A = this chain, B = another copy of it.
Amino acid sequence: MTSSPTRTRTYGQYCGFARALEIVGERWALLVVRDLVLGPKRFTELQRGLPKMPQSILSARLNELEQSGVVRRRVLPSLDAGVTYELTEYGSELDQIVLLLGLWGARSLTRPHPEEVFTLDTAILSLYTTFQEEAADGVQVNFEVRYPGMTVHALVDGGALKVAEGSHPDADLIIEPVGPYLVDLLTGQLSAGEAVASGKVLIQGEAEHLELFSRLFRIPPAPEPSTGTVIS
């Protein structure tokens, strides 16, 4: 019913990778998936997370992703006449790819462009993508991160990470970046000590917990030009 079924935007290759791009390679499609990785959402929630995305495109992408078996539309039985969109099992197998690609792209993050928005989902996902599992072995610590319009908390417990919206009543450390400098801490351009000393990051709690934070969440340094590797 989405009007013309259209003979699609294909690549003309019998190839799993090409097929993947035909399914989720359209503009905006993977950003919709990204937001759904964090859980089911309503149409307007998706809009809020993708403010620069035209609604008509969001509608079109959701239909395409539903047809491809990546997204499932669920009509809420209650009275509020709502519809939620969630990843199918097939779609949620993109989780790891989303995290990997997010970390890869984070290396190219410098300063936010004035018009760029920083959404709640980005804040949450940035912690998942940069989490260093091997550095969290035997660690048990809770962080609360306060951004200008929103707060998230991260629970690290024995190699596992759980991030959610909102404050945490029993956080070991409250981190409040002043300006877009938390990324510098993650890349290592800014040490934990310098971050506090310069006032670029305000903290409540023991300062050494920020050292721990900067070991648990890392953006690897941007590689220098060198010879490319083939496959292994």
Contact = CB atoms under 8 A, between A and B. Distances in A.
B19 A105 contact: yes
A128 B25 CA distance: 21
A5 interface: no
Given A18-B31, A20-B105, A231 B128 contact: yes
Contacts of A72: 225, 228
Interface string A86-102: 11111111111110111
A232 B27 contact: no
Contact of A228 (B34, B91, B116, B230): B91
Contacts of A51: 12
Q: Give the interface residue-count category, chain A.
A: 35 or more
12 contacts: A14-B180, A16-B107, A16-B126, A17-B98, A17-B102, A17-B122, A19-B105, A21-B101, A87-B228, A88-B226, A88-B228, A97-B97
Interface of A: 9-23, 25, 27-28, 30-31, 34, 36-40, 50-53, 68-69, 72, 86-98, 100-109, 112-113, 115-119, 122, 125-126, 128-129, 160-161, 180, 219, 222-232
